[in-house]
Amino acid sequence: MSDKIQLLPDHVANQIAAGEVIQRPASVVKELMENAIDAQATHIQLLLKEAGKTLVQVIDNGEGMSATDLRMAFERHATSKITKAEDLFALTTKGFRGEALASIAAIAHVETHTRRSEDEMASQIIIEGSEVVQQDLVVAPQGTSFAVKNLFFNIPARRNFLKSNTVELRHVIDEFHRIAIAYPQLHFTMLHNGAELFDLPPENLRRRIAGIFGAKTAEKLVPVEEQTSVTAINGFIVKPEFAKKTRGHQYFFVNNRFIKSPFLHHAVLAAFEGLLQQGYHPGYFLFLQLDPKTLDINIHPTKTEIKFEDEQSIYAILKAAIKHALGMFQVTPVLDFDRDPNMDVSYSQQQTPAKIPAIEVDASFNPFRAPGVKPKTIQWESLYTQTETTQIESETPGDDLGLETIAQPKVFQLLNKYVVSSTHAALLVIHQQRAHERILYERFLKNLSLDQHPSQQLLFPVKMKLNPSEKAVYENYETSLTSMGFELEFDFESDTLEIKGIPVLCQQKEVTPLLEAVLTIDTFEAVAESFSASDRLAKVLAQTTSIKTGKVLSMLEQQALVDDLFACKEPLKSPFNRQIFITLTKEEFDQKFN
């Protein structure tokens, strides 16, 4: 038998490569737009017909190509971006595989013209299914135009595999967004069947996001900023109260490249823990800058997946940065200093004289209550605040924190476990232990973030001998413990910890159980979560010092518990994500008495 192995002809190899790189019109959009960015363009126009099935055209004002380079650009493994394997770990460009144009030309009709600033004439090339049909000199502005027509014209199976225009256009728009968000300093326009869908002038990131998703979005964003030796992180997260039921705006960019990373996503979820209702998804636009040496981008042909050398650190840093941005759960309105005030008022309104606004007082407004996550069935806030606990702002500052309680709801304790409170519209049954955990947890965190550490001296300092694992935990948490109000002294000779003071939130008789709880925090977990040591600590402290199930509460204590709970940022869930209270509405009662 004769030898059987032969090399595949180029156009076949290119078609095979195209199978990986080009799945749909959106893939063409991505490759062409990335090439325009690599060519230093400042204005990139995307034109589509029939969701890109009949035409995807990208016009840029970048550096262009010579006639020879234009011909070369369509060869497989032809690239100007890397010359040797090591370059893969010092990438500054989007492209590097040199296969996009070859792949596209193998499965479509391509018409390109390009001109460098130093050339008088532009070069044009027409290729159909890898075959050069025409090559010319033409008159054209500086930059490059790629028109990709009749995608998959020679592979009917793949053309039939394409979805409806609506679906394909959605994919294209997603791709367009990813690039437009990554490069807010560039001008992007997008037209579909002649109609302009986007015109995004150069902007800062916040306004670019607003330009794409609507002006209202800008107010929902909280900036994230973190600088460490491993990575620099910046961008925005969407405030938890605007989280969506659908996985909406979730964007990670590593060195300005959009990537998909379940791993990083998990870090974000962990940072949002306790802030989102079940079934809601966080929104984020996060940029990570990393040394290219510590990344591998070349693990997937579309380059949307990435391998990090130091995954664990990045995870911890990201999580900590987001927690920090959430202000340890004290998400406050953000002032946008670079916002153009003219954008807020429509032109017609700018002409008319300003009206003096009528003063409206919202008697139920509680400045200590952030707009929370919406509960599934009813709005507890309106339920609870409208009539019974009407609170008004006090004139004199410092007077009872500016709050005055006018009337109190009725409360009683049930089974030494629940506190029942009635409002005008419903009955609230509150789990006393979980409610108190939530209250203490937020107080501990608040002390930490305000860097206040009210401490009380112990009359009789307590000494504890630590075993090696307790010692490790102690060393890990020492700073956080101090900033929470503990006064501690460790004697390395005898491995003895002396407790001289404790946070005012704790009771003296709790010292030993408190320290024992802290020192038995799982060391392994402690190491993995070292970046949120304080959060972990606040949880443990809240759990240990909270009112427990079974404790009989006085009327006053019950009332305080209810008040304090609803002054919390997140009164719905305990720090361990358990339901704190249930409501029974009039309708629910009526149904039962039916």
Q: Closer CB to Mg ion, residue 100 or residue 212?
A: 100
* 91 interacts with ligand ADP by CB under 6 A: no
User: CA 513 → CA 108, 516, 519, 534, distances in Å?
Assistant: 72, 5, 10, 18
Stretch that binds ligand ADP, among 63-71, 366-374, 399-407, 517-525 (CB under 6 A): 63-71
Number of residues that bind ligand ADP (CB under 6 A): 22
Query: What is the side-by-side order of every strand in the sheet holding 496-503?
Result: 455-465, 496-503, 487-491
When CB distances are held under 5 to 8 angstroms depending on the partner's kind, the choice from Mg ion, ligand ADP, none that residue 65 binds is ligand ADP
Residue 240 binding partner per list ligand ADP, Mg ion, none, with a CB distance cut-off of 5 to 8 Å that depends on partner kind: none
Q: Compute the least distance from the CB of residue 62 to ligand ADP, in Å.
A: 5
- Binds 96, which of ligand ADP, Mg ion, none (CB < 5 to 8 A, cut-off by type)? ligand ADP
Stretch that binds ligand ADP, among 32-40, 352-360, 374-382, 406-414 (CB under 6 A): 32-40
Residue 166 C-beta: closest distance to ligand ADP, Å: 28
Indicate whether 35 belongs to the interface with ligand ADP (CB under 6 A): yes
| Positions in 260-319 near ligand ADP (CB under 6 A) | none
Strands 232-238 and 250-254: unpaired
Q: How far is the CB of 141 from ligand ADP (least distance, A)?
A: 13
Q: How many CA atoms lie within 13 A of 297 on its CB side?
A: 27
How many C-beta neighbours within 10 Å does residue 167 have? 12
Q: Least separation, in Å, of the C-beta of 78 and Mg ion?
A: 10
What, of ligand ADP, Mg ion, none, does residue 46 touch, CB below 5 to 8 Å by kind? none
Site string for ligand ADP, 93-132 (x = CB under 6 A): --xxxxxxx-------------------------------
Q: Is 79 an interacting residue with respect to ligand ADP (CB under 6 A)? A: yes
The first and second tokens of residue 338, run together, are: 């670079």
d(CA 59, CA 290): 30
Candidate residues 21, 25, 57, 60; the one interacting with ligand ADP per rule CB under 6 A:
60
Q: For residues 96 and 213, which CB has a smaller minimum distance to ligand ADP in the complex? A: 96
Q: Of 28-36, 301-309, 315-323, 368-376, which part binds ligand ADP (CB under 6 A)?
A: 28-36
Structure tokens at 289: 């800058």
Q: Residue 116 CB, nearest distance to ligand ADP (Å)?
A: 9
User: Distance between CA atoms of 115 and 129, rounded to whole angstroms?
Assistant: 24
CA distance 278 to 373: 10
Return the one option of Mg ion, ligand ADP, none that residue 73 interacts with (CB less than 5 to 8 A, by type): ligand ADP
In the complex with Mg ion, the residue whose CB is nearer, 52 or 95, is 95
**Identity (one letter) of the amino acid at 458?**
L
Residue 455 burial (C-beta neighbours within 10 Å; 0-12, 13-18, 19+): middle
Our finding on whether 175 is near ligand ADP (CB under 6 A) is no
**508 in helix, strand or coil?**
helix
Please choose which of ligand ADP, Mg ion, none residue 480 contacts, taking the beta carbon within 5 to 8 angstroms, the exact cut-off set by kind. Answer: none
Pick from 25, 52, 64, 485: which binds ligand ADP (CB under 6 A)? 64
| Cβ contact 252:306 at 8 Å | no
Asked whether 402 and 367 are in contact (CB, 8 A), the reply is yes
* Residue closest to ligand ADP (Cβ): 95
User: Is residue 22 involved in binding ligand ADP (CB under 6 A)?
Assistant: no
Q: Which does 211 bind (CB under 5 to 8 A by kind): ligand ADP, Mg ion, none?
A: none
Q: 65, 267, 540, 562: which one contacts ligand ADP (CB under 6 A)?
A: 65
**Positions that interact with Mg ion (CB under 5 A):** 35, 95, 100
**Nearest residue (CB) to ligand ADP, 114 versus 423:** 114
Q: Which stretch binds ligand ADP (CB under 6 A): 61-69, 232-240, 351-359, 451-459?
A: 61-69
Tokens coding 112: 């390109």
Span of 57-65, 180-188, 484-492, 554-562 interacting with ligand ADP by CB under 6 A: 57-65
Taking CB atoms, the residue at the shortest distance from Mg ion is 95
Both tokens assigned to 518: 């802290």
Binding mask 130-149 for ligand ADP (x = CB under 6 A): --------------x-----
| Amino acid at residue number 399 | D
Rounded least distance, CB 373 to ligand ADP, Å:
44
- Determine the 3-state secondary structure of 140 from DSSP: coil
Taking the complex as a whole, the smallest distance from the CB of residue 245 to ligand ADP amounts, in Å, to 38
Nearer to ligand ADP by Cβ, of 95 and 501: the residue is 95
Is 45 a binding residue for ligand ADP by CB under 6 A? The answer is: no
- Listed in sequence order, the residues at least 6 apart from 495 whose beta carbon sits closer than 8 Å to its beta carbon are 465, 466, 467, 471
Judged by beta carbon distances under 5 to 8 A according to partner kind, the member of ligand ADP, Mg ion, none in contact with residue 39 is: ligand ADP
Torsion of CA 264, 270, 271, 276, to 10 degrees: 120
What is d(CA 489, CA 487) in angstroms, rounded to the nearest whole number? 7
Q: What angle do CA 585, 589, 594 make, to 5 degrees?
A: 145
Contact status, residue 48 vs residue 25, Cβ threshold 8 Å: yes
CA 354/CA 197 separation, integer angstroms: 34
Cα–Cα distance measured from residue 382 to residue 405, given in angstroms and rounded to the nearest whole number = 16
Cα 145-151-156 angle, rounded to 5 deg: 165
The smaller minimum CB distance to ligand ADP, of residues 50 and 69, is found at 69
Give the nearest distance from C-beta 64 to ligand ADP in angstroms: 6
Amino acid (1-letter code) at residue 434: R
DSSP string, 256-273: TEEE--HHHHHHHHHHTT
Site for ligand ADP in 318-377 (CB under 6 A): none
Minimum CB–partner distance for residue 39 and ligand ADP (Å): 3
Neighbouring CB atoms inside 10 A of 91's CB total 19
Q: Which amino acid is at 167?
A: V
In angstroms, the CA 238 to CA 241 distance is 8
Q: Which two tokens stand for residue 584?
A: 């029974």
Give residues 377-406 in contact with ligand ADP (rule: CB under 6 A).
none
Environment class of residue 591 by beta-carbon count within 10 Å: exposed (0-12), middle (13-18) or buried (19+)? exposed
Instruction: Report strand pairing: 55-60 vs 109-115.
Output: unpaired
Chain residues in the site for ligand ADP (CB under 6 A): 31, 35-36, 39, 60, 62-65, 73, 78-81, 95-101, 144
